[in-house]
Structure 1
Amino acid sequence: MTEDDTLWDLEERFWTQGADSARHATAKDAVFVLPFPAGILQGDALWREKEIAQRWRSVTMTERFISFKSIIAVLAYHVAAERSDEPFYQALCTSTYLNDDGKWLRLAHQQTPLD
């Protein structure tokens, strides 16, 4: 599996697996910028937010871009995500990862809804 594949796999699991999985792949003081009302979240506040704790049933990531600079990687993409009993959610997203001793950890995540 390439570095690109590893990062895209982590990003998809961020959307589809539980908060515990996301927490293990996220740096301790990561910063997320989510749509209102969640807003800007950091540290333990991330895991109390329902948008992080509640998983999506399916996601499709298109318009994928990835950029590496030393031990930092930035992913940018369009997401279409679905939960039961909710309309499709579409957003432009970025996630920044740090390679910490061979393990990729999410430092930041941002979503701009397209609704």
Structure 2
Amino acid sequence: MDDDRIWRFEESLWTGDADHYRELIDEECVMVVPEKPFVFKAQAAIEAVADTPRWSSVSFSEQEVMRPQEGLITIAYRAEAKRDGGDGYVAYCTTTMRRLEHEVWRVVQHQQTLPPVASGSTEG
């Protein structure tokens, strides 16, 4: 899968509906997100997404693509997502995809980390 397709694939996971998400998540996927219960296996992640309003837009920066072996791609990036109505979200993410067959890919791992919040304290 070329880099442009990778990023379109990833964007579709943020903005697509629950059926689209269900289609692209492997049944052996594991996810870690910064909300309870934090660690999800595939079916629980799909159910959580089905009950969550989808993002209307997402942009990626600090993008990296790794291909550690044939049929396996890992990406890392900073995501800025928005919903209609103004809700926003920023996270650093990784996603790992595996190829099932020619041009058929599934997510086997996804992780989101919130950036640290700057504190108002000063060091002395």
In structure 2, stretches of 5+ residues that fail to align are 118-124
The amino acid across from 2:10 in the alignment is E
Output aligned runs, 1:47-66, within 5 Å: 47-50=46-49, 53-66=52-65
2:18–2:49 Cα contact (<8 Å) kept: no
- Report the alpha carbon displacement of residue 85 of structure 1 after superposing the two structures with TM: 3.9
Which deviations, in whole Å up to 9, do the C-alpha atoms of 1:31-89 show, x marking residues without a partner? 11111224100031112214874310111101110001211100100001111345321
Where does residue 84 of structure 1 map in the other structure? 84
2:18–2:50 Cα contact (<8 Å) kept: no
Greater CA deviation, 82-91 or 98-107? Answer: 82-91
- What is the percent sequence identity of the aligned residues? 29
The amino acid across from 1:80 in the alignment is E
Secondary structure at 2:46 match in 1: helix
Where does residue 104 of structure 1 map in the other structure? 105
Where does residue 14 of structure 2 map in the other structure? 15
The amino acid across from 1:11 in the alignment is E
Q: TM-score, normalised to structure 2's length?
A: 0.83
Q: 1:100 to 1:3 in 2, by over 3 A?
A: same
The amino acid across from 2:97 in the alignment is Y
Query: Highest CA radius of gyration, 1 or 2?
Result: 2
Runs of 4+ with >4 A deviation? 50-53
The amino acid across from 1:43 in the alignment is A
Greater CA deviation, 65-74 or 38-47? Answer: 38-47
Q: Distance in 2 between matches of 1:113 and 1:94?
A: 12
* Count of aligned pairs between the two proteins: 114
Where does residue 5 of structure 1 map in the other structure? 4
Secondary structure at 2:22 match in 1: helix
Where does residue 31 of structure 2 map in the other structure? 32
